[in-house]
């Protein structure tokens, strides 16, 4: 599937928003490592046309390296979410992975494994995604 440039950039922004909601899970255990935060910023910069795909890819690689270097599960998932958000510049399909890793981050952080927490986060994700892109990211979700 191909997207027009505007929709591709909208997905990258949405993915950055999903990742940003989880960034504290990374920052709490890795306060001096800013690679995931920089990846989220790079996703937004790419969406605004301020950086190219190559720079976005470098930010993604750095965020995924940060994920590999942390031992805390929710931090790892949060960093991966950020890495996939900026990787959306290269391939829009990474936006879904950013959302999925955001759910993993919140699930790992939720000691009681309360399914309502992840369900509410997925609901937030769907509600903040432009309606015409819901089927692109979440093909199993029926839209009106």
Structure pTM?
Answer: 0.94
Q: How many domains does the chain have?
A: 1
Report pLDDT digits (tens) over 15-65: 999 999 999 999 999 999 999 999 999 999 999 999 999 999 999 999 999
| Residue 101 placed within a domain | yes
Q: Is the pLDDT of residue 144 over 80?
A: no
| Residue 144 placed within a domain | no
Report pLDDT digits (tens) over 85-109: 999 999 999 999 999 999 999 999 8
| Residue 142 placed within a domain | no
* Residue of higher predicted confidence among 68 and 119: 68
Q: Output the DSSP codes for 50-65.
A: SS-HHHHHHHHHHHHH
pLDDT at 142: 72
| Residue 114 placed within a domain | yes
Q: Is the pLDDT of residue 126 over 90?
A: yes
- Report the distance separating Cα 142 and Cα 136, nearest Å: 11
Residue 114 structural domain:
5-137
């Amino acid at each position: 599937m191909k997207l027009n440039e505007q929709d591709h950039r909208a997905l990258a922004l949405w993915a950055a928003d999903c990742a940003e909601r989880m960034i504290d899970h990374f920052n709490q255990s890795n306060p001096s490592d800013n690679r995931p935060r920089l990846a989220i910023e790079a996703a937004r910069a790419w969406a605004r046309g301020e950086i190219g795909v190559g720079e976005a890819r470098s930010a993604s690689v750095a965020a995924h390296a940060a994920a590999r270097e942390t031992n805390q599960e929710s931090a790892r998932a949060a960093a991966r979410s950020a890495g996939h958000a900026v990787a959306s510049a290269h391939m829009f399909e990474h936006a879904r992975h950013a959302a999925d890793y955001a759910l993993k981050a919140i699930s790992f952080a939720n000691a009681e494994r309360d399914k309502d927490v992840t369900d509410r986060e997925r609901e937030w994700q769907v509600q903040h995604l432009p309606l015409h892109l819901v089927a692109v990211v979440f093909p199993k979700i029926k839209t009106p």
